[in-house]
Chains A and B, each alone.
Chain A
Amino acid sequence: QVQLQESGPGLVKPSETLSLTCTVSGGSISSYYWTWIRQPPGKGLEWIGYIYYTGSSIYYPSLKSRVTMSVDTSKKQFSLRLSSVTAADTAVYYCAREGYSDGQYYGMDVWGQGTTVTVSS
């Protein structure tokens, strides 16, 4: 059974960089899109972006200037960096796996438990 686990600081100061890592266990990191989603308190889900196991990535346009994602296949980890954070970046951050094969998307079928990140001085 594939499992995902987010890790990283729970508190980040304004203007600094938020850094999170997601560790994949129980399965391969190949052939999937590895995704970050966030959920501000009391609000809905926001897609941040994905990184493919090859290293290619797509970020949501409104966040693109501040987001960097990376993948380390040897450690079965992928990471998110979000720079110049403000209070508006306070949220629960989830990592998730999105399946894709032969032109067919299969949705985000495995999620981490989520990690709360608060931006405050």
Chain B
Amino acid sequence: QSVLTQPPSVSGAPGQRVTISCTGSSSNIGAGFDVHWYQQLPGTAPKLLIYANTNRPSGVPDRFSGSKSGTSASLAITGLQAEDEADYYCQSYDSSLSGSRVFGGGTKLTVL
């Protein structure tokens, strides 16, 4: 059972927009801690996609965007491409776990 809750799977057709939610609580996202998002392509290490809620590292397409409100955060992907098919994880910090970093359970994105 992950501290942050994500839907197990989402899907969309090429060109469409999809969102992935990440729900936490008052000890993590709701406490004001930042949320980061990672993309994990099959058989590879995770890659930082969004940091500090809304920021894209250099090289990440602007098709990817992040937002945060209350105890939740979301990752939006517009103009879906086949290469976006991957697992996506949110990550934050939890004050009830001594400042531990916590991950969501991951969401498998399927491009139809």
Contact = CB atoms under 8 A, between A and B. Distances in A.
B86 interface: no
A60 B36 contact: no
B46 A45 contact: yes
Contacts of A111: 45-47
B97 A45 contact: no
Given A107-B51, A109-B51, A45 B100 contact: no
Contacts of A60: 97, 100
B36 A44 contact: no
A112 interface: yes
B52 A104 contact: yes
A90 B58 CA distance: 34
Given A35-B101, A47-B103, A61-B100, A106 B52 contact: yes
List of 3 A-B pairs having minimum Cβ-Cβ separation, nearest first: A107-B36, A107-B51, A44-B106
Interface of B: 2, 34, 36, 38, 40, 44-48, 50-52, 57, 87, 89, 91, 93, 97-106
12 contacts: A44-B106, A45-B38, A45-B91, A47-B91, A58-B100, A94-B46, A105-B36, A107-B34, A107-B50, A108-B46, A109-B57, A111-B47
